[in-house]
Homo-oligomer: A and B are copies of this chain.
């Protein structure tokens, strides 16, 4: 497994791979890899000649009051996991080389990035779209795999790829959960013991709403209320939103249908950890 930090070396390396007619699969990450990432790597590994993963804690997608500085970094452990999953190249660029001093170009995806996360994290999706497009241009992958856990991110990237005619296939990977249902996230390590114990209520709520839908309940307000109800036992939890929206456009829906997305963001009472989760209706019976 190669480790590359230099952007120009990465460009040359990937150009050489493509000129040999080999396919490249990309799994972009911010490191702090867990079994969720592992599943993305497995999906990608089966579909390409050369598997590239990027590890880059992208400063431009963090707001001024967010957790950029304390975001978990564990590069040695991450590389071991990548090696075990058959990654060919780990790309770890430096922030000041990704964003040079007079860096000035930003991708803005209107509409789909406006509500939910976009509303709570101004500029977040500009940072995400921009860094993803940079990685696509550097790595020139045939496809890239993104986790369904960041459902709106996925919708934003799909829209960007469609609008800008980016020649990269976008593959969504299902959410991977702990045994008790908590969606895997690098931020779960922030949780206090008692928060960790209560956190599975998030997925219990999403699953309960999903089952209501499977039994014929289409009313968005009833389905969202069902999610909130399950969280009432999670004391002092701040619910930022429970949303039922079209999973491609992220527009709120009054009536749910197959492909509707229920998504939720909460902030835990003790550690102040922000957790997100979601479920696509029709996928859980």
Task: Report Cα–Cα, A51/B112, bound state, in Å.
Answer: 37
Number of copies: 2
A107 touching B106, Cβ below 8 Å:
yes
Say whether chain A's binding surface is mostly helix, strand, loop, or mixed. mixed
Whether A138 is near chain B, meaning CB under 8 Å from some CB there, is yes
| In contact, B111 and A108 (Cβ under 8 angstroms) | no
Residue among A19, A109, A112, A163 having the largest count of chain B Cβ atoms under 10 Å: A163
Judge whether B105 and A163 touch: CB under 8 Å: yes
Say yes or no for A15: interface residue by CB 8 A criterion.
Answer: yes
In the bound complex, residues from chain B placing their C-beta under 8 Å from that of A163 are 100, 103-105, 134
CA distance A7 to B164 in the complex (A): 12
- Report the minimal beta-carbon distance from A99 to chain B, rounded to whole angstroms: 8
Which of A104, A111, A129 gathers most chain B CB within 10 Å?
A104
Assess whether A11 is interfacial by the CB under 8 Å rule: yes
Interface residues of A (CB under 8 A from B): 7, 11, 15, 19, 21, 100, 102-112, 129-130, 133-134, 137-138, 140, 159-160, 162-167, 249
